[in-house]
Amino acid sequence: MTTKTILLAATLLAGVALPAAAFAQDFNPDATIRIGSLYEPQNLDNTAGAGQGINEAFNGNVYEALFQLTDAGSVEPKLVESYEASEDGLTYTFTLKAGVTFHSGEPLTAADVKYSIERVTAEQSKSSRKRSLSTITGIETPDDRTLVITLSARSISLPYNLSYVWVVNDAATDITAAEDGTGPYSLAEWRRGSALALERFDGYWGEPASNGEVIYTYFTDATALNNALLTNAVDIITSVQSPDSLAQFSGNPAFTVTEGASTTKELLAYNDRVAPFDNVQVRKALARATDKARLLNSIWGDYGTLIGSFVPPTDPWYVDLTGVDAYDVDSAKALLAEAGYADGFEFTLDTPDYDPHPIVAQFLQAEYAKIGVTVNINVITANEWYTKIYQERNFEATLQEHVNHRDIVFYGNPDFYWGYNNPEVVKLIADAEAAGSEAEQVEKLTQANRIIADDAAGNWLYLYPQIVVSAANVTGYPVNGLNSQFFAYDIEKAE
Amino acid sequence: MSTTIASAPARPPRSLILWAGLILVGLHVATGLLSLVWLPYEPTGMVGMRLEGPSLVHWIGTDRLGRDLFTQLMIGSRIALVVGIGAVAIGAAIGVTLGILAAFASKWLDDALAATLDILIAFPTLLIAMLVVAASDTASLWSAIVALGIALSAIVARLTRILAKRVLVMDYITAARTSGSSWPKIVAIHILPNIWPTLSVNFALQFGLAVIAEASLSYLGLGAPPPNASWGRMLQEAQGTVYTAPLGAIAPGLALVSLAIGVNLLADGLRDSIDPTRRAR
């Protein structure tokens, strides 16, 4: 009995002491961190349609902005020392940090920042935040460290929106294949189709990175990526995309599994311009005919969250709207009948060919059959999605994962691909942007959020979980997947 | 002594091969036919929980959406048979016609056709099929069948051409010609019956090829669109859950292998019983 107790106590002690020892153990400051990812960037420029992969690899690591969206979701100054807004909110004066240099060795000047903002707002820019910065009417640079931005209307989220503007040296050329940023790492090598290597930048203005080198290795297949971690070919998987592969890692002391908040929403988007989706009752009926809890369980097992709207809990204007148009097949049928579709209707669902969209489409097909609605699944590639749906708006309904943070503002744009046009929401979102205080902004956007949910503007199926798996000797990585950014500079590796 | 050599002791008796093939293929044909009139569950019905294991209710478990895997497997048999028969029929129609034309054509046209066929055969069947599917607007079961049929036709055409040419130099053909028989008559009475046994064995082999190729196309998302439960699609959907629910991948895999082996055994057995040189004395 006594022996048993002692043994138990010893085991408990060891259990507590071991991880502490692991943390206390000196990490190698020059370690190479090997990150496995499924998202290879198309190019290296976030204004040239490079995809989420470039955000993951470069944001905060290679490029920095005036402000930074932290892993916790707050906006903090980065390259800005201080800033002030005029009384009317139409003029912002920014003072840049001193002693910041680009990787090329040139010092950061206000002219570089002006150039960088203009790259995002330029006509050929494909930045998702281009429209948010459209209120900028003038940028002046009275001296090398001062930047004055004038606006046509108040814009309370200007600092937030500026966190999307990578500051690039204005003398840099061809930044789709090279870089010149101010971040803690510079680009060492990019092998297209396989890997992207970053090395610590010795002339960094801030705290140097906790590791010497970061290599992003790209996989096209999740199983191969999992195997790479199992065989110690990578140290971290940035975003696990299936709960079933976790069985190999959870419960195994050689690995750490974390679940954080993501901003990725699985959306059944209707083309609200075309019949029958221009009818609110039809959209509400489909929302009520969707057993989202069951769908989430099918795709993610016990992970993920139902949100009932387009706003995830990490956005300041989140409210739980899962109660709006909750699952109720009978009332769905009644609504359809009221809308004049008692016998149902038929529509084509353009479905991207990668997981989880095809399986989600089959789920919806089976669900909507119960209310007499026939879904024809048309599988398309990601490129086809971009041209057919995003550009040409030639669709009835589609599935898409929306990764952006604070993207409810898309519903304030009647020209967006889904064509939702409610003047009240457009006004609320514009007013929120012109708000004098954050409280007022939050209030307006919360109201807008409730209206789009009541209008069933889209069918927000679920919020992805953000699951990171790493080898146990690696710590300090970001656990949330906001905008799919992945800051690598605090990662420590014990060896 | 001579009988020992002739009966090739390492080889199982031909009737056994034929029977094994017949049973395996027959099982799939029976399942496919049965699926037309009876299924354990609605094919798209989400009747169970996520990834249930095998039980009395769901014999080989359920998939991620809770759909019964055995029901899908049965439909898979039907789809595989339709694809095999359809693709071979299209391949045979195009291939035999082209092959006979080449055999009768002038030397110049024959050479050109033969060279074209050789080039086509140099491409993997799957690659040609993928090109055809990509050229059609949307992927469907029919586009997959037509694509495979076209891809298979080159192989059939080459074989037909060679077999037909072999028959064409026979004395009885010369006799038929001199007695004034028309070309169509010669083809119908003399050529087709003579080359038919070899061709039919080849068709059985092509059938197996087509079934596997369709599964590959569906696996790549170029075959039957969801929710058609093609074995290839089942394999693809089970890929992510292979560690937690391996049966989801093993079951369609076994079904595919058993049909492919069955067809090959059947072809083997057929050849043995048709080919007089292999007949046991």
Q: How confident is the model at residue A117 (pLDDT cuts 50, 70, 90)?
A: very high
Helices B141-168 and B125-135: crossing angle in degrees, nearest 10, is: 130
The pLDDT of residue A2: 39
Q: Which residues of A touch B240 (CB under 8 A)?
A: 222-223, 242, 244-245, 355
More confident residue, A23 or A295: A295
In a domain? residue A173: no
What is the pLDDT, as a whole number, of residue A22?
46
**B86/B70 Cα distance (integer angstroms):** 24
Residues in chain B: 281
Q: Is residue A171 part of a domain?
A: no
In a domain, B70, yes or no: yes
- Look-up of token digits 């460290």: A145
Check CB contact under 8 Å for B240 and A299: no
Q: How far apart are CA A282 and CA B139, in angstroms?
A: 29
Mean pLDDT over all residues of chain A? 91
CB contact under 8 A, A244 and B138: no
Is residue A89 one of the residues assigned to a domain? Answer: yes
- How far does the CA of residue B245 sit from the closest CA of chain A (Å)? 9
Query: Domain of B101: which CATH number?
Result: 1.10.3720.10
The residue from A101, A133, A162 where one domain ends is A162
Look at residue A176 and tell me if it is in a domain: no
Map residue A63 onto helix, strand or coil: strand
**What pLDDT is recorded for position B279?**
56
Residues 6+ apart with CB under 8 A from A227: A233
Looking at the structure, do residues A312 and A253 belong to the same domain, yes or no? no
pTM of the shown model: 0.83
pLDDT at A63: 97
Measured between beta carbons, which residues in chain B are less than 8 angstroms from residue A383?
A: none
Interchain contact A387–B (C-beta under 8 A) = no
Instruction: Give the integer Cα–Cα distance in Å for B205 and B92.
Output: 12
Please report whether residue A257 resides in a domain: yes
**Domain finish residue from A108, A130, A162:** A162
Helix (H/G/I), strand (E/B), else coil: A399: strand
**B-chain residues within 8 Å CB-CB of A379?**
139, 221, 225-226
Joined tokens for residue B204: 């059985």
Residue B3 has pLDDT above 80, yes or no: no
Q: What is the mean pLDDT of chain B?
A: 88
Residue B44, domain member (yes or no): no
Flag whether pLDDT at A152 surpasses 60. yes
Per the structure, how many domains does chain B have?
1
A245 touches chain B (CB under 8 A): yes
Q: Is residue B57 part of a domain?
A: no
Please tell me if residue A222 touches chain B, with a CB cutoff of 8 Å.
Answer: yes
Distance from CA of B104 to the nearest CA of A (A): 45
| Residue A175 is assigned to a structural domain of this protein | no
Interchain proximity B243–A245, CB inside 8 Å = yes
- A343 to each of A275, A330, A456, how far by Cα in Å? 15, 14, 21
Average pLDDT value for residue range A76-90: 95
- Is the Cβ–Cβ distance between A152 and A76 less than 8 Å? no
B138/A247 touch (CB, cutoff 8 Å), yes or no: no
pLDDT of A458 higher than 80: yes
Q: Which residues of B touch A (CB under 8 A)?
A: 44-46, 50-51, 64-66, 138-139, 221, 225-227, 237, 239-245
Q: What is the pLDDT of residue A413?
A: 93
Tokens of A309: 């709207």
Residue type, A325: D
| Amino acid A5: pLDDT | 39
Q: What is the CATH number for A156? A: 3.90.76.10
pLDDT at A70 (0 to 100)? 92
Question: Are residues A126 and A269 both part of a single domain?
Answer: no
A320 and A196 housed in the same domain: no
Euclidean distance between CA atoms A373 and A310, whole angstroms: 24
Q: What is the pLDDT of residues A269-317, one digit of tens each?
A: 999 999 999 999 999 999 999 999 999 999 999 899 999 999 999 899 9
Residues A124 and A156 in one domain: yes
Other CB atoms within 10 A of residue A255 CB: 18
Q: At what angle do helices B192-219 and B231-238 cross, to 10 degrees?
A: 20
Q: Residues B69, B58: contact at Cβ < 8 Å?
A: yes
- Whether residues A255 and A348 share a domain: the answer is no
Domain boundaries, position B226: 66-280
CATH code for the domain in which residue A274 is found: 3.10.105.10
Q: What percent of chain B is predicted at pLDDT more than 70?
A: 91
Q: Assign residue A304 a region: left if phi > 0, alpha if psi is -120 to 50, beta otherwise?
A: left
* Residue pair B217/B232 in contact by the 8 Å Cβ criterion: yes
Asked, for residue B96, whether it belongs to a domain, the answer is yes
The verdict on A384 and A483 lying in the same domain is no
Write out pLDDT tens, residues A250-269. 889 999 999 998 899 999 99
Query: CB–CB of A244 and B221 under 8 A?
Result: no
- Pairwise CB contact (< 8 Å): A298 & B45: no
More confident residue, B176 or B279: B176
CB contact under 8 A, B226 and A353: no
Is residue A486 situated within a structural domain? yes
In chain B, which residues have their Cβ closer than 8 Å to the Cβ of A245?
Answer: 240, 243
Give the distance from residue B186's alpha carbon to the nearest chain A alpha carbon, in angstroms: 49
- According to DSSP, residue B106 is labeled -
Enumerate residues 6+ apart whose C-beta is below 8 A from A135: A151, A152, A153, A155, A433
> Do A303 and A381 have their domain in common?
yes
A297 interfacial to chain B (CB closer than 8 Å): yes
CA distances from B266 to B80, B203, B204, B205, B214 (A): 16, 11, 7, 9, 20
- B74 to B11, B31, B34, B52, B115: CA distances (angstroms): 33, 6, 8, 18, 42
Does B175 reside within a domain? yes
The closest CB to that of A244, out of B45, B139, B243, belongs to B243
| CA nearest to A134, candidates A155, A113, A148 | A155
* Rounded-to-integer distance, Cα A481 and Cα A483, Å: 6
Indicate the pLDDT class of residue A474, thresholds 50, 70 and 90.
very high
| Model pLDDT for residues A158-195, shown as the tens digit of each residue | 999 999 999 999 999 889 999 999 999 999 999 998 99
DSSP lists the bridge partners of residue A143 as A146
Q: How far is CA A1 from the centre of its chain?
A: 54
Task: Give the DSSP H or E segment for A380.
Answer: strand A374-380
Crossing angle of the two packed helices A292-300 and A357-369, in degrees rounded to 10: 150
Q: Is residue B164 part of a domain?
A: yes
pLDDT at A334 over 60: yes
What are residue A215's DSSP bridge partners?
A34, A197
User: How far is it, in rounded angstroms, from Cα A210 to Cα A476?
Assistant: 9
Whole-number Å distance between alpha carbons of A74 and A314: 9
Residues A48 and A135 in one domain: no
SS3 B255: helix
Q: How confident is the model over A357-393, as pLDDT tens digits?
A: 999 999 999 999 999 999 999 988 888 998 999 999 9
How many domains, chain A? 3
Domain identity same for A269 and A379? yes
Pairing relationship of beta strands A213-218 and A195-200 according to DSSP bridges? antiparallel
Domain assignment present for B165: yes
State how far the Cα of A336 lies from the Cα of A283, in Å rounded to an integer: 9
pLDDT, tens only, A409-448: 999 999 999 999 999 999 999 999 999 899 999 999 999 9
- Cα–chain center distance at A370: 34
Q: Name the DSSP letter for residue A411.
A: G
Which ranges constitute the DSSP H helices of A97-171? Answer: 110-121, 158-162
Same domain, A299 and A440: yes
Q: Determine, yes or no, domain membership for B273.
A: yes
Examine the pLDDT at B81 and tell me if it is beyond 90.
Answer: yes
The rounded radius of gyration (Å) of the Cα atoms in chain B is 22
Q: Which residue has the tokens 């076994």?
A: B254
- Which two three-digit tokens encode residue A347? 């529509």
Residue A309 sits in the same domain as residue A297: yes
Residue of B253, B226, B256, B255 whose CA lies nearest to B64: B226
Q: Say if residue A356 is preceded by a cis peptide, omega within 30 of 0.
A: yes
Token pair 């076209």: residue: B150
Residue A3: its pLDDT value, please?
A: 39
A248 interface with B at CB cutoff 8 Å:
yes
What is the C-alpha separation between A227 and A230, in angstroms, rounded? 5
Per-residue pLDDT band at A470 (split at 50, 70, 90): very high
Q: Provide DSSP, B161-224.
A: HHHHHHHHTSHHHHHHHHTT--HHHHIIIIIHHHHHHHHHHHHHHHHHHHHHHHHHHHHTT-SS
Same domain, A325 and A449: yes
Supply angle C-alpha B112, B115, B116, rounded to 5: 85
Residue with tokens 């009541």: A454
Q: What is the domain range of residue A112?
A: 67-162
Contact A355/B at CB under 8 A: yes
Token duo for residue A276 = 């029958």
Task: Report the b/e string of A432-441 with b at 16+ CB within 10 A.
Answer: bbbbeeeeeb
